[in-house]
Amino acid sequence: MHLSVAGSTARVHGTVRVPNSKYHAHRALILASLAPGTSRITGLSDARHVQYTVDLLRALGITVEIEGDTFVVHGGAYRPRRDHVTVGSSGTTLYFMVGLAALADRDVLVTGQKYFDRRPIGPLLRALRELGVDVSSPTDCPPIQVRHGRPTGGTVHIAGTLSQWISALLLIAPFAAAHTTVIVDGPFNERSYVDLTVRMMAQFGLNVAVSADGRRYDIAPGQVAHPADLQLPPDIGSAAFGLAVAGIRPADVVLTGLPSIDPADVDHPEAEFLRIVRAMGLPMEVDAAAGAVRVRHDGARLQATEVDCRAVPDMLPVLSTMAAFAEGESVFHNVEHVRLKESDRVHAMLQLNEMGAQLDFDGTDLRVRGVPQLRGAHLSSFNDHRVLMSLAVAASAASGRSTLTFPNAYRISYPQFLDAMADLHVDMQVEKGPARPTGRRRPPAGTADEAARITGAQWIRRWADERPHSLALVDAAPDRTTRMTWSELDHAVDKAAALLIELGVQSGDRVAVQLPNCSGFVVAAAAASRIGAVICPIMPIFRQREVAFALKRSGAKLVIVADNFRGRQHDHELADILAGPEASELAVEHVLVMHLTPGVAHVLPPCDNPDVTWNAWHRASAWVTVDRAALDARAPAPQDAAQLLFTSGTSGEPKGVLHTHESLSRAAWMEIEQLPLNSTDSVYIPSPLAHQTGFLYGMWLAWVLGVPEIVQRVWNGRQALEILEAWEGTFVQAATPFLTDLVREVEAGAPAPRALRIFVATGAAVPRALAERATRVLGTAVCGAFGTTETGLAALSTPADPAGKAWGTDGKALRDVRLRIVDDDGHLVAAGVEGNFELTSPTVFGGYLDRPDLSAEAFAADGWYRTGDLAVIDDDGFLHITGRVRDVINRGGEKVPVSEIEQLLYRHEAIDDVAIVAMPDERLGERACAFAVLVPGATLSFTKLQNYLDDNRVSKSYWPERLEIVDSLPRNAVGKVQKFLLRERAATLKPQRLTTLTDTDKEDPLDDQHPGHARRTWKPNRTA
């Protein structure tokens, strides 16, 4: 188990109640137990350490009752119920009670939890023996044998290192047979805690005379404690964490039960903390009438501070967290004693450096230079409650996800900590399983058949029941990042599904969604799935022409659209469509507008179509009531349609493809098994959710696997690396341009993402040279794959395959998938022979929407799907795509191996990207034209291109006969080169002159000489 913290720079807001002081509770309970009669201590403390004190007192025969919010203690003689008592894991209970246990009427053995066997208290034991208490331990650690008997008194020396040891002597000294003098030697830390002990002893009638310098304590013998009633004050040590989180993030936080910010007005040994944070610039306001303190600001940075830790040693962890975000250098003096607490707290807090902070420890002083932002990290709490809570607060304002070991340590002193953070809208959850992604655990138990029986939204419901507080979704926008747990996602899906029902959406209805990668897309898709509707994603880059086509062909009744994305008013564009000449051909009845730019006012666009209602998503969903029974009644069957997706249109008009819940869940599971993926993974999604790569092998895959999906709203290579690092993305499936940009950023100096272990390259053939380079630069496995919108993945390599096969091929068949290569007559060809690539799979679609003619063309007579690709399957069963059938260049009867030549040209030092298409020719039919994007600053002539091909011994008939230098290749949103656009351009071009280079190539009987070479600029409408 671990504590998972999702960082954010969003405003923390809410109200929390400060618990009562555990320091007062320990002392009050113990003093009341020593006072014959009944004492009432109002203001319960449920800190686990306090409960250990209660349990030990009860084991000594003291009756401690709870009435409402009051401890009722019936004090008197200690009469142990057994021969041993335990202090649990409370150091305070151990120190205070080990001497007082001698007042029992029989010997007892004082024990603690197992790790307390290493808690050294030798100086305290020696001081107790000087006082006449018979205590013994061979290791000076628990367990400790305590003989019953009244202490003798006398002069006792104790080091001033630990205040609790001094307090322990003061608590037993009044019951000694003779006068006791306690003298503090050496540096004196934490005097405020000892002063508290003295003050509270006086409340119970026990008197201690204290010297002015606090180093000499005189206690008269034979004193008798008297019962007392008292109210426990607020615990500043707990309030500190609410104040800290409000100091390092924009905040509007109210802490009730804290009546003042003046240390003089607060009876607490750590009240000095209030003065320190005021000096750091924490804007605290007092509401005296409400007995509360409010912190409100819009993100002003704290200022550096200088602290003598002897006054507030327990506050070092939280103060160092605040200093890590403050402007300037903070210095913490005299931290040696701090290191003797539950852990070596100084070195524990040096872990802030792993988050990007700047801490330095020289043995005496801890220096903290503040930074504007920390990053997520995996940290250890060392089972120390203060360390855990302080690092968790730091992580709450860091970028990305952090984890901490011993996640329940906070219960020792502040059981309400997680609840308080939740009330302030801070994302902290205790999670099961390993904190770090390992990639070593097996996939979830089950089979593809079992997975296929679970519908999309059922996966979300399942994980919300099994792991409600685990991270489910990260929405990484350029200016902010938001997160949702499985429980939160499930609730949002319920609300959205209820809204769809309110708008009349029925089972099988199409819901069109034109949204970027964002949480709204995920919620909308899952909501449609929950009630049996069919989600129809539309690419955000599409404009009115493409959107109108998708709406007309899909017959969508409801459209969910963004208000503003990347400078375009998508809702206004939709309004134009619905008011235009094509409106009568559309079935749209309702439009929901999703507001994507917080802080920017938005007004719904005017629409002249009276048959269409418009609503803002957030307003419409706010008033809807969720009826779980009604939602469950609409639940679809696995074989029902779930998704209507239009092909990318790289070869012509987009075609509608319907997939069922069964085919989508099965397809995701098949990839999970092939790689394999497991419950420690996180799925990073830069590919558009409106495309099958992002939708199925991003979002749906994460649902099936039950792991976080990390969606990036706007592609940017540098930000992608930051997101991958912060949220520990381990898996990504995306096209070549995404991989190219990541490699370039790392080669330019950005750190490689440490958790990323698998990049599946899809959408187009990945250049082998790039794949090999990416494997080295990114330190991740690059796996080749083949899939289509119609079939899902059919072939996929794995990280376990030999390197040349993993990234040098398009993979091997997934389970239950069969691949074949046939000639133009439909006959199988031998391994290694190129032919037409066909496949059969349980995830193949049933046919194109309303296009039986195209469906008939897509399938062979025996039902195998014709991919339209040329390919080779080698002797090991690995697939090699060699080109598209319609991309074949037939040069006078000789077919040019387009893919092979493209791969070769990609390795040229001057070429950054390249595509080869057919250029019409009257004599030969077709010739090859190469469109190349050059590396910045590079040059390349047609002659140099010929030299390169000649050096690589390429047959002259395969050489491109024209070179066009372009700024970029036209690609669709998922990275596929739109070769039909290149062919349109090539149709206007003529071949260039081929230079005779070798004796064997002096004459080419097919050569038709043409002079000239021109540089052209290609500026496609859309790029990835």
> Is pLDDT above 90 for 924?
no
- pLDDT band at 1013, cuts 50/70/90? very low
The CA distance from 617 to 623, in Å, is 11
Once rounded to an integer, what is the mean pLDDT over residues 288-314? 91
The CA distance from 997 to 1012, in Å, is 18
> Is pLDDT above 60 for 1018?
no
> Is pLDDT above 90 for 86?
yes
Q: Using DSSP, how many helices (H) and how many strands (E) does the chain show?
A: 31, 49
pLDDT tens-digit readout, 92-108: 999 999 999 999 999 99
> Is pLDDT above 50 for 831?
yes
Task: Report the CATH number of the 2-17+234-423 domain.
Answer: 3.65.10.10
- pLDDT band at 580, cuts 50/70/90? confident
Per-residue model confidence (pLDDT) at position 9 = 87
CA 553, chain centre distance (Å): 38
Q: Is-above-0.75 flag for pTM? A: no
Active site residue 449: no
Structure tokens at 419: 């609840």
Structure tokens at 841: 């799979």
Structure tokens at 346: 């100084």
- pLDDT band at 1024, cuts 50/70/90? very low
> Is pLDDT above 60 for 432?
yes
The CA distance from 16 to 27, in Å, is 25
> Is pLDDT above 60 for 442?
no
Of the residues 83, 185, 213, 314, only one is catalytic, namely 314
Q: Rounded to the nearest 5°, which phi and psi values hold at 9?
A: -110, 10
| Selection from 448-462, 592-606, 883-897 with the highest mean pLDDT | 448-462
Q: Bin 850: left if φ > 0, else alpha if -120 < ψ < 50, else beta.
A: left
- pLDDT band at 544, cuts 50/70/90? confident
In the chain, what are the domain boundaries? 2-17+234-423, 22-231, 448-472+484-662, 715-883, 888-1024
Give start and end residues of each alpha helix (H) in 958-997.
979-986
Sequence ranges of the binding site for phosphoenolpyruvate? 22, 91, 119, 164, 345, 386
> Is pLDDT above 60 for 806?
yes
Omega before 143 within 30 of 0, i.e. cis: yes
- pLDDT band at 996, cuts 50/70/90? very low
443 against 843, higher pLDDT: 843
Once rounded to an integer, what is the mean pLDDT over residues 811-840? 95
The CA distance from 730 to 763, in Å, is 20
- Are the C-beta atoms of residues 991 and 962 closer than 8 Å to each other? yes
Once rounded to an integer, what is the mean pLDDT over residues 120-135? 94
Identity of the residue numbered 13: H
Q: What is the DSSP letter of 619?
A: H
Angle between helices 91-100 and 122-130 (to 10 degrees): 20
Structure tokens at 628: 């779980």
> Is pLDDT above 60 for 1009?
no
Once rounded to an integer, what is the mean pLDDT over residues 948-956? 85
> Is pLDDT above 50 for 1005?
no
Please provide the average confidence, as pLDDT, over all residues in the chain.
89
State the CATH architecture for 22-231: Alpha-beta prism (3.65)
Q: Is the dihedral of CA 449, 450, 453, 456 positive or negative?
A: negative
- pLDDT band at 329, cuts 50/70/90? very high
DSSP letter for each residue of 79-120: --SSSEEE-TT-HHHHHHHHHHGGGBSS-EEEE--GGGGG--
3-state percent breakdown (helix, strand, coil) of the chain, nearest 5: 35, 25, 40
Per-residue model confidence (pLDDT) at position 601 = 65
Structure tokens at 194: 């000892």
The CA distance from 65 to 23, in Å, is 19
171 against 923, higher pLDDT: 171
Bridge-based pairing state of the strands 378-379 and 366-369 = unpaired
> Is pLDDT above 80 for 650?
no
> Is pLDDT above 70 for 535?
yes
Q: Is the dihedral of CA 350, 353, 355, 356 positive or negative?
A: positive
In a 10 Å sphere around its CB, with 0-12 CB exposed, 13-18 middle and 19+ buried, how is residue 653 labelled?
exposed
Task: Report the CATH number of the 888-1024 domain.
Answer: 3.30.300.30
Identity of the residue numbered 876: D
Per-residue model confidence (pLDDT) at position 441 = 53
The CA distance from 160 to 215, in Å, is 8
Once rounded to an integer, what is the mean pLDDT over residues 502-523? 96
pLDDT tens-digit readout, 174-202: 999 999 999 999 888 788 899 999 999 99
Bridge-based pairing state of the strands 358-361 and 209-210 = unpaired
Sequence ranges of the binding site? 22, 27, 91, 119, 163-164, 314, 341, 345, 386
Homologous superfamily (CATH) of 448-472+484-662 is ANL, N-terminal domain (3.40.50.12780)
Sequence ranges of the binding site for 3-phosphoshikimate? 22, 27, 163-164, 314, 341
Q: What is the DSSP letter of 696?
A: I
Coil, strand or helix: which one is 825?
coil
Per-residue model confidence (pLDDT) at position 1012 = 31
Per-residue model confidence (pLDDT) at position 763 = 66
Per-residue model confidence (pLDDT) at position 823 = 93
pLDDT tens-digit readout, 228-266: 999 999 999 999 999 999 999 999 999 999 989 999 888
Structure tokens at 319: 């103060």
Neighbours of 888 (CB within 10 A): 15
Bridge-based pairing state of the strands 292-297 and 251-256 = antiparallel
Task: Report the CATH number of the 715-883 domain.
Answer: 3.40.50.12780
- Are the C-beta atoms of residues 601 and 591 closer than 8 Å to each other? no
Per-residue model confidence (pLDDT) at position 1003 = 35
Query: Which residues 6+ apart lie within 8 Å of 164 measured at CB?
Result: 91, 92, 95, 96, 193
Per-residue model confidence (pLDDT) at position 1020 = 35
pLDDT tens-digit readout, 205-229: 999 999 999 999 999 999 999 999 9
> Is pLDDT above 80 for 428?
yes
Q: Is the dihedral of CA 496, 502, 504, 506 positive or negative?
A: positive
Once rounded to an integer, what is the mean pLDDT over residues 318-328? 97
User: Identical fold at 2-17+234-423 and 715-883?
Assistant: no
